[in-house]
Structure 1
């Protein structure tokens, strides 16, 4: 069996997407050959190993057929068609709507290939998307979303079935790689004392809500000056966040260590993991933190309640004062007990079993 994994782009900014696809591909049949296409950018910096890689190095304008490139759409599709035939792939695993819009028109002339489109987050749908998807029989095209919340929303918008494929990790394999608390703190340059440390992991972009988190943390420091905050990640908002840290004089309280390839090993450095996202398709950071035995404080989003139910600690989206209060309240709560309750509700072993079964079914040639 041969699977072609088609991603929009490589690099650390897309680490979570690559992790999801790697987890899905890990459930393919023994002996399966996996190849990967990156439509944009190089494979350098990719966190996940996704097989032999071809870099197309195409611009967004070219892929979307904007301006002059609209005239060259037939030529580009002919290139894709020839390349697809050369792969001998039976199944295509497509990263999101952008990739689906690019390659599904080509698959109409390749009925022996089956496509699975994995949608990772809320996105703006067009009428043309529904029209495109309806051109394929269910035997050739499956739409999947990384959470039940996202799947239900897409089903409502598209008026067609969407498989819920809640991403998960093998908890035993994940925990085997965790660093002990002291070693994790030393890796992040944190002091060895017991001062409370809040952690956050994600791209430094607007949707992750780190600007709100920073302001709330700064206000909370007035009551608990011993606290520290570490935000692991990289992105376009780094300059603005650094400037605000400097304006507030928090250089010794807040650190931005950048993208760390092995960030998933470091969760035990934190007393709480904060996830202030404005929107999420699933939120792999939540799963990683809970599996690490660290309690999480999240934005009050349906996808987080889907996973943690009443054991979650929630704060309103992008509300600085509410996040300040939630941070201070967290310090007075029994963190270990909350972490245990969250682990029990997330049920990582069962989640991994269900994910594995669903992913195996999606990738099977016998579907």
Structure 2
């Protein structure tokens, strides 16, 4: 059995995407050969037998303008590589990878394909035609949440398999540092109430308005501290906003942390102010770490926490300020227990594992 996992890119911005694929690949049959290919960038978050970094330029992968003339040559290289490893199952990371490789895979009748969607995307007419023309018995379209699957199904007019990605609870919890050690690793005092936020520093994550909401909340609850873990293009903007709000002593922009998943117990609460998410693994990681979550009131989060969630409208500074201040007064351990029960991590892991096995079965 030979499985090829083809990813858009490596590096810290794609950690959550790699985690999803790693969880799928963990359900491969014993003895299966797993090959991890990165179209761009370096490194991998997947424990694969072999990693190949293609080092392709963004323009070449996109195939725009004159670069489109090289598409046949590039696809020929990929076909040769797939035949060389005797690929039987190919796992594709989202729309960009799918556009490049589905035309090749359509002509390889011995190969089964699983195309995994991780977030909202705009399907072109050509994308819809590409997916509909692919032999249905050899293609499974996968979305990482029910919310995302419904959106893609509506646009595509084809069935989409829901694989609500889940973490293996016991394995995840076994790696966690305790509160004191996690705070020491992040340089945080034990004498403050720490609100944590985790993710790429990009507009869709909502960290800019979170700073304004936190500034208001900390006037009511002066013991609050906000720690944002992650890196991205908005760092300079967020640093400037912190200075404008005079929050230098109350907000830590920690940056990218190796072993981030071990650090959740440094936080009293985790804040997830995203405008949109395909799933939001941060929510799952926090709840499994016994840390309660306050998140945006979007359907993908309600899908996971239901009535046990604490929500505020995405982008609403006043609502978030009020919610942060209120959460700081609650019994965090009790909220965490309620959210853990709602998330059902063990049952979710078992369900996702069974579905993943079907994606990797031999044609």
- The TM tier, using the shorter chain, reads over 0.9
Q: Distance in 2 between matches of 1:51 and 1:339?
A: 37
Please give the alpha-carbon distance, in whole angstroms, between the structure 2 residues aligned to 1:192 and 1:74.
Answer: 59
Instruction: Note the residue ranges of structure 1 that are not aligned, 5 or more in a row.
Output: none
Shift of 1:249: 2.0
Find the partner of 1:266 among 248, 263, 267.
263
If the length of structure 2 is used for normalisation, what is the TM-score? 0.98
Residue by residue over 1:50-93, the C-alpha shift from the partner in whole angstroms, topping out at 9 and shown as x without a partner, is 33111111122111211111111111111111111112110001
Question: Quick check: 1:12–1:47 contact (8 Å CA) kept in 2?
Answer: no
List per-residue Cα deviations over 1:34-57 (Å, max 9, x = no partner): 1111001112xx444333111111
- Corresponding residue for 1:162? 160
CA distance in 2, matches of 1:31, 1:65: 36
Distance in 1, Cα, partners of 2:271 & 2:237: 20
Q: Which residue of 2 aligns with 1:114?
A: 112
Equivalent residue for 2:25?
25
Report the counterpart of residue 11 of structure 2 in structure 1.
11
Within the alignment, does 1:361 sit opposite 2:339 as a pair?
A: no
Deviations 1:215-269 (A, max 9, x none): 1101111111221000000111011111111222212111111111211111111
| Inter-partner Cα distance in structure 2 for 1:247 and 1:87 | 55
Distance 2:46 2:213 in 1: 33
Match of 1:77 among 75, 78, 85: 75
Residue 152 of structure 1 is matched in structure 2 by: 150
Task: Return the alpha-carbon distance in structure 2 between the equivalents of residues 10 and 50 of structure 1.
Answer: 14
1:57 to 55, 58, 62: 55
Give the gaps of 5 or more residues in structure 2: none
Displacement, 1:136? Answer: 1.6
**Runs of 4+ deviating beyond 6 Å:** none
Pair 1:163–1:311, CA change in 2 (3 A): same
Among 96, 101, 114, the alignment partner of 2:94 is 96
Looking at structure 2, the residues matched to 147 and 223 of structure 1 have their Cα atoms a distance apart, in angstroms, of: 36
Query: For the residues of structure 2 that align with 1:304 and 1:51, how far apart are their CA atoms?
Result: 34
Secondary structure at the aligned position of 2:322 is classed as helix
Q: Could you state the TM-score of these two structures normalised by the residue count of structure 1?
A: 0.97
Q: What is the distance in 2 between the residues matched to 1:344 and 1:198? A: 22
- Per-residue CA deviations over 1:11-37 (Å, capped at 9, x if unaligned) read 011000000000000001001111111
Q: For 1:38 and 1:240, how far apart are their aligned partners in 2? A: 30
